[in-house]
Structure 1
């Protein structure tokens, strides 16, 4: 009997995969239908509230009546109806741009009751965000994107990022707060001249940002009484304690290898602050933490680490290792100038910790113990 059971493992996995794919397709289809419905309702609300057809309490009355006639209905509160109006107005004509989506709403006067006809949405003018991207993310994601990103290019960036990286709402909020759109591809680097493959260099440039928001590091919680007395070990301790959040901040496809990673070449002990592996780049990524402003000597130190990694740690199928200096401050023009003399692929970026954030923003963050409890629950 046991051999018979084990003999069907492949068949079970085949059926299981089909079920999961069908569930994913159903969820994706349901989300698309919901967005199309919300877009249509938003257009209907917009047409009747902006021209004064409805009174001031119309949305509240409509919401209450809907819940009476459809018990258990969720998502159609007065506030939600206003969000749907924002959703329609933003995407049917965002600012001075040509409409991003064609109108999916028609008020058919010849039909009984003025029927809302919900047609499939179509993207009209984007090379960076597909309709699949747009329909793949939930309405809550769209709400936060519309509230936090003001230009069309920004919004399309975050929609694609959410769809491609499968960001949760909380991860999206972190990305918006870190202003990832304006920090993409701006890291000071020498990738184009040091990486052998042009596509690999462009991928590396897109992977790293010019500034990282490490707002999860609370120096007071780490036992530092004087906020100015924050050295590399304190930063490293905070990052390692919150490595899950650091990787989410750092970007997708990073796997943590270790901190104070030991290198032993020619009998000389050396230690890399943080070592990662990036699956998209297929390479080791060494990160050096510096508590003060940038110094050219940091590049020399990191270049030596990368040489040892490539000669003693890198595997045959992997690409050349990449290094990143994370420092408190830098003159970008100066860094761009001196980094070109190095033959190992490296970048330099800055960071901010909790002590660098405005007081009002810090007060709005949950206590660090609550964050840890949430992380522990999500790991369970």
Structure 2
């Protein structure tokens, strides 16, 4: 009997592996859930501490008292609870409360973001930048490392939405919580940073395309995590002619095909006709019933802003963007952004608000 039982056990390794995998998954999920709950509780607690200190001490008429009591409070808390309550930690909690004064927002963001995320966000002095990175981190499930990389790469300054007034930016950020109204502007950039391509001088459009395909993973990270590669040099048979679009992607959240055309020089008005032709072909032959209309991204080394604005290409689902092979000084990019915001504010009539 024991031998038969032994044979029965050893003869079903697949069942055992399945059992082990299921139990392992349960343990892993439980641990992940516990860590997430601990992080959320810590974050909310730090916010509450910052609020209490800010209201009871620093924002009252007892500033001198606050200067005296904060070091004492830090020392006593550190002695009892450890190094997480140093003087600098307490002042960071106060800054945390002042940067995010609404508890409902903290309750929502802390479901996805850890205290380490907020420490990175507090480095940003600009309120709208901080809101942008907080919402995007929550929506895209960025790790702390990814958040830091996006900030270092000046993602906000390069996003299409950054050129709009703050009122419009906040409206677009609110749409992140409504998948059916996903904002196109939040998923497009201008410029795109292609410093990872390591191209030499005097490269051709073919060299640019080959370099992108060679570093496709890096390129998709620059485009955004929801872009999926579909084809290169896709052949379009139109009438008696063959056309080839450079790159074809699909955006999962937007549910749209995205064609990308690569141009070496400055944007030229005649590029519009080519893009429109490709978009109409994709809409007719490739677009699925549950998808939205295709969009085009024309990547050029430069563009005349007035020409692009006069052509009103965005309403035709054509996005003109520059590509940069190296990131310029932050001051240069911020100056361009400030000028673009001023122009957009005047154009949209927000100047008197």
Q: TM-score range by the shorter chain?
A: 0.5 to 0.7
Give the conservation status (yes or no) of the 8 Å contact 1:286–1:322.
Answer: yes
Kindly indicate whether the alpha-carbon contact (under 8 Å) linking 1:231 and 1:291 is maintained by their aligned counterparts in 2. yes
Q: Secondary structure at the match of 1:315?
A: coil
The CA deviation at 1:173 is 2.1
1:170 is the counterpart of 2:176: no
Contact kept? 2:49, 2:94, Cα under 8 Å: no
- Counterparts in 2 of 1:285 and 1:53: CA distance versus 1, 3 Å: same
Deviation at 1:37, TM superposition (A): 4.3
Structure 2 counterparts to residues 169-248 of structure 1, below 5 A: 169-182=144-157, 183-185=159-161, 203-219=183-199, 224=200, 226=201, 229-248=202-221
| Alpha carbons 2:43, 2:110 under 8 Å: kept | no
Q: Structure 2 CA distance, aligned partners of 1:241 and 1:58?
A: 56
**TM-score scaled by structure 1?**
0.64
State the alpha-carbon separation in 2 of the partners of residues 92 and 311 from structure 1: 52
**Are residue 357 (structure 1) and residue 328 (structure 2) matched?**
yes
Change (3 A) 1:43 1:202: closer
Cα–Cα, structure 1 residues 218 and 32, in superposed 2: closer, same or farther, change >3 Å?
A: same
- From the two aligned structures, give the one with the greater helix fraction: 2
* Structure 2, unaligned runs of 5 or more: 1-7, 165-178, 331-353
Moved more, 343-352 or 33-42: 33-42
Output one character per residue of 1:271-297: Cα deviation in whole Å (capped at 9) or x when no partner.
Answer: 222211111121210011222221111
Q: Is the deviation greater in 279-288 or in 39-48? A: 39-48
- Residue 100 (1) aligns with residue 89 (2): no
Report the CA distance shift for 1:42/1:281 in structure 2 as closer, same or farther (over 3 A). Answer: closer
Q: Which of 250, 255, 269 in structure 2 is aligned with 1:277?
A: 250
Name which of 263, 266, 286 aligns with 2:236.
Answer: 263
Counterparts in 2 of 1:33 and 1:286: CA distance versus 1, 3 Å: same
CA distance in 2, matches of 1:358, 1:234: 27
Counterpart Cα distance in 2 of 1:161 and 1:285:
21
CA–CA distance in structure 1, aligned partners of residues 268 and 229 of structure 2: 26
Q: Does 1:313 align with 2:286?
A: yes
Q: 1:288 aligns with which of 248, 261, 266?
A: 261
Q: Is the 8 A contact 2:192 2:322 kept in 1?
A: yes
- For the Cα contact (< 8 Å) 2:228–2:251, is it kept in 1? yes
TM-score normalised over the length of structure 2? 0.68
- Whole-angstrom distance in 2 between the partners of 1:271 and 1:12: 50
Aligned pairs (5 A) from 1:53-92: 53=68, 76=84, 82-86=88-92, 88-92=93-97
Instruction: Provide the rounded CA distance (Å) in 2 between the counterparts of 1:171 and 1:328.
Output: 27
| Secondary structure of residue in 2 paired with 1:291 | coil
Q: Decide whether aligned partners of structure 1 residues 52 and 83 sit closer, same or farther in structure 2, where only a CA change above 3 A counts.
A: closer
Which residue of structure 1 aligns with residue 318 of structure 2?
346
Query: Pairwise CA RMSD of aligned residues?
Result: 4.2
Q: Is the 8 A contact 1:136 1:163 kept in 2?
A: yes
Give per-residue Cα distances to partners, 1:206-260, cap 9 Å, x unaligned.
Answer: 32223222332322xxxx1x3xx24433332332232222222212311111333
Q: Deviations over 1:57-80 (max 9, x none)?
A: 997x889x75xx88xx7x6496xx
- What SS does structure 2 have at the residue aligned with 1:34? helix
Instruction: Tell me which residue corresponds to 1:31.
Output: 39
Say which of 324, 346, 356 aligns to 2:297: 324
Residue deviations 1:115-145 (CA, integer Å, cap 9, x gap): xxxxxxx23xxxxx55221452122221221
The aligned counterpart of 1:333 is 306
Work out the CA distance in 2 between the residues paired with 1:170 and 1:28.
Answer: 17
Cα distance in 2 between the residues matched to 1:173 and 1:216: 18
**Equivalent in the alignment of 2:333:** none
In the alignment of these two chains, the number of paired residues is: 302
Alpha-carbon contact 2:275-2:296 (below 8 Å) kept: yes
Query: 2:181 & 2:84 partners in 1: Cα distance?
Result: 48
Counterparts of 2:206 and 2:73, CA distance in 1:
59
Distance 1:4 1:328, change over 3 A: same
